[in-house]
Amino acid sequence: MSIRPSTLPPVQDMPPEGGFRKLDFKRIIPERGPKGWQIWMAASFSIMYGFYQIGKTNTARNQQKLQERKVRYALAPVLQAEADREYLERELINLKKEAEVMKGVPGWEVGKNPYFSGKWMPRAVSHMDRSIK
């Protein structure tokens, strides 16, 4: 079944008054982030700043170590004197014990090195000797 054509004249679509607006045929690409040179510059500045911070930290650490060394050097004579005093106290105690133990041996000299090496060496006097009495 077909529809009978109307008796009205045909209506044709026409452009609006003044015509259609112009079409922009150029390619429109949206911004997708920073450009390559911007990324490169940001990375370069970040690396330079990091190296600057490392240098600053190393300088501060070296200054701290220098101060600690100066303190140790200043304390070394005091600590050595204290160790020498303790050594002499232990040595005197050991010499008294030696004199007491060896009093019956003829020709024994208390404190004389039995090895005759000609070099002075401190005796092995440890803290364990205090418990012997």
Long-range contacts, stretch 95-99, CB < 8 angstroms, 24+ apart: 97/132
pTM, to two decimals: 0.47
Position 108 pLDDT exceeds 90: no
CA distance 67 to 61: 10
CA distance 87 to 91: 6
- pLDDT tens per residue, range 45-64: 999 999 999 999 999 999 99
Confidence of residue 79 (pLDDT cuts 50, 70, 90): very high
**94: CB partners within 8 A, 6+ apart:** 123, 125, 129
Q: Compute the residue count for the chain.
A: 133
The shares of helix, strand and coil residues in the chain, as percent rounded to the nearest 5, are 55, 0, 45
More confident residue, 74 or 28: 74
Calculate mean pLDDT across residues 110-131.
68
Position 85 pLDDT exceeds 60: yes
The b/e string for 79-99 (b: 16+ C-beta within 10 A; e otherwise) is: eeeeeeeeeeebeeebeeeee
